[in-house]
A and B are shown apart, each in its own frame.
Chain A
Amino acid sequence: MPSLIKSRWLKPLVFLACLVPLALLVERGLHNGLGANPIERITHATGDWTMRFLLITLSVTPLRRILRQPDLIRFRRMLGLFAFFYGFLHLMTWLWLDKFFDPHEMWADLVKRRFITAGMTGFALMLPLAVTSTRGWIRRMGGRNWQRLHRLIYFSAAAGVVHYYWLVKSDIRLPVLYGAILAVLLLLRWANRRPVYNR
């Protein structure tokens, strides 16, 4: 198992796997397979995957410990960047296909609709993390500061959960499930407060 996790070809494989949701969307889009309301389907799929990748990224650290596989850390940055990538697509779907880049409408939505405000908060919190995801930035900031900054991902995921909870009409099962997963991840973190230095 450790040798598998360390193996050179696993990373490109995980990379490709992370692209599968997008590939499926594109493939279905090209073949008229996104149902009666394709734009809604794209918004939902990208939103779902932003949420999932945020939670997957957050589970890397506890999984390293639970599975005794410290090398899993290799994938954390990539997974986090995929959360950002799907979040970006999600935001673009809204900007382009829902608001058609109309600044007036965008602003109106942003201030009036609390679920949009929460979503935007979630995305905005991911931005500095994506920018500082390089080795250079870790060096420049120092491990401790960098780690502290990257704790923002918990807030981003929390904003994502609130965003989802606020946008559903009545069936709250999925947002509650995501919220519960996030709570468990936070608890695991709290139960293991010793800082983990990785690099």
Chain B
Amino acid sequence: MLVRIAPHIRSSEITPKRIYLNRRRFLASAAAGLWLARTPAHAEKLANLAKSPFSTSEKITPIEAATQYNNFYEFGTGKEDPARNATKFRTHPWKVKVEGHCNNPKTYDLDGLMKLAPIEERIYRHRCVEAWSMVVPWIGFSLAAVLKAADPTAKAKYVAFESFYDPSQMPQGRWAGIPFPYVEGLRMDEAMHPLALLCFGMYGETLPNQNGAPVRLVLPWKYGFKSIKSIVKIRFVEKEPPTTWNLANAHEYGFYSNVNPQVDHPRWSQASERRLGEFFKRKTLMYNGYGEQVASLYNGMDLRKYY
């Protein structure tokens, strides 16, 4: 199938990235033929982005890496599976339900959700639990905007999130070895933290399917799997909600999963990481370098116990 062959055509060195990527997309669509006519055009430009004081000035990871090297197990467990298997993913129309302990439950369509606050670009470090990392210019606004609009009650101690799951669109998910739909959760104060980003885009465009279109979380001080993709449900709850990787393997993945170089994953060290595109490994920073902002959330907690 041509879709698979296209990535081997290496014009990357001689062609500007954007053109190169578009051409690749074009090749893929040309090869895929009919079904593509039914697929909504993805990757719309997102303009007039405010800059964010939270942005890092570190070198941004090339867009190819950030869009072709993904963990999105609903679309397969290989790093290149999501880019290959998510091309048909239907993200239009999209509904996000906000419910649970709040005075103002509401179901948003995507446009409505995006209008809740001005979107801005935030360049964050992103650290995967598998000890690789990247620097991504995400686009969105603080999750707090949605949560406040719902007006949570005193019973809302945690926020639970749920991903879209449709086995007919995600047949590879059957083999992932983890239960779906994917669920995640945050303590209320974590969810309200301004760093917690409700994300609609990256690299100046709407999110590619394989990166969790059309809306996801980005929690830069936590391991990547906490940043749930393709969100359909946000629910205020009283008790700590279940989270997918914790359900799959509680011994290896905790509820908090803050980036912590001192607490190893049972199977590998978390002390260092490989930034995509770099040869040497670099030291992993406590809270992925966001300690100044978030460390106070965890004052007095035993981080070995609450990993």
Contact = CB atoms under 8 A, between A and B. Distances in A.
Contact of A37 (B13, B69, B178, B267): B69
Interface of B is mostly: loop
Contacts, number: 61
Contact of A32 (B10, B79, B176): B10
B276 A36 contact: yes
A36 B69 contact: yes
A170 B12 contact: no
B175 A171 contact: yes
A24 to B, nearest CB: 11
Interface in A22-43: 31-33, 35-37, 39-40
Nearest to A99: B281
Contacts of B130: 169
A169 B223 CA distance: 15
Contacts of A170: 73, 77, 176-178, 248-249
Interface in B230-287: 248-249, 264, 267-269, 274, 276-277, 279-281
Interface in A164-192: 166-167, 169-173
Interface stretch (A63-71, A105-113, A144-152, A154-162): A105-113
B165 interface: no
B280 A100 contact: yes
Contacts of B267: 113-115, 166-167
Contacts of A171: 73, 77, 175-177
A18 B245 CA distance: 39
Nearest to B272: A105
Interface in A129-156: none
B80 interface: yes
A160 to B, nearest CB: 17
A161 B193 CA distance: 44
Contacts of B249: 170
A35 B69 contact: yes
A146 to B, nearest CB: 37
A172 B177 contact: yes
15 contacts: A31-B10, A32-B12, A35-B69, A36-B69, A36-B79, A36-B276, A37-B69, A39-B274, A100-B281, A113-B267, A169-B77, A169-B130, A170-B177, A170-B178, A171-B176
List the 4 shortest-distance A-B pairs measured between CB atoms, nearest first.
Answer: A170-B177, A36-B69, A36-B65, A171-B77
